[in-house]
Chains A and B, each alone.
Chain A
Amino acid sequence: NAGVTQTPKFQVLKTGQSMTLQCAQDMNHNSMYWYRQDPGMGLRLIYYSASEGTTDKGEVPNGYNVSRLNKREFSLRLESAAPSQTSVYFCASRGDRIETQYFGPGTRLLVL
């Protein structure tokens, strides 16, 4: 039981490049989330998915797209990376009727 896994752990991009951050959970959770963590800002919700096939915007969705590929996987795509997207990205999942969210280890992204 690996919980929530994320790949890659670390990535360096040049401005304008694209990439996809991968997230998978093996806890059979319906809800999944993408956050970004910036110094002094705490965690801010980018997108979330309440169930397979549905996605909704969070607090800071601009510049990102998501795909809920199946119940296990929820990916985050940066189509044209900008330096302002330099951050640590966390994926999380939550089971029904349980308020606790379970977090992955994070992806550290640097956009030059």
Chain B
Amino acid sequence: GNSVTQMEGPVTLSEEAFLTINCTYTATGYPSLFWYVQYPGEGLQLLLKATKADDKGSNKGFEATYRKETTSFHLEKGSVQVSDSAVYFCALSRSYNTDKLIFGTGTRLQVFP
């Protein structure tokens, strides 16, 4: 079946460090891939997305590239800030039924000054 696997957290970094949060997926067809972010006490909001292989999604300094050959969509940022502390969710929507998102378990990022 379709599924998303994320690295377990928490990920703890100092400000200005490089961030990678790994995400791999299993899916039939050609899903779209997403990263959502949840700041403390808030709902999820879309961070970035990619809809086909080799697409790169980017937003607020974060990037992720849709790699079909490795079934991965790793999230990266060159220099994290304290304000990036949040929970990050990788998700996919199945190509034949975009009504449903399948989420990973989430990775908590803690950035210290």
Contacts and interface: CB of A to CB of B under 8 A. Distances in A.
Q: Do A and B come from one complex?
A: yes
Interface of A: 4, 31, 40-45, 48, 50, 58, 90, 92, 94, 99-106
Interface residues of B, number: 22
Contact of B44 (A41, A43, A50): A43
B46 interface: yes
B83 to A, nearest CB: 19
> What's the dominant secondary structure at chain A's contact region?
strand
A7 to B, nearest CB: 13
Contacts of A102: 45-46
A99 B104 contact: no
Given A103-B43, A105-B43, 4 more contacts: A43-B44, A43-B101, A50-B99, A105-B42
B45 A103 contact: yes
A91 to B, nearest CB: 8
Nearest to B46: A100
Contacts of A31: 99
B32 A99 contact: yes
Contacts of A101: 46, 101
A40 to B, nearest CB: 6
A80 to B, nearest CB: 27
A4 B43 CA distance: 10
Contacts of B44: 43, 90, 92, 103
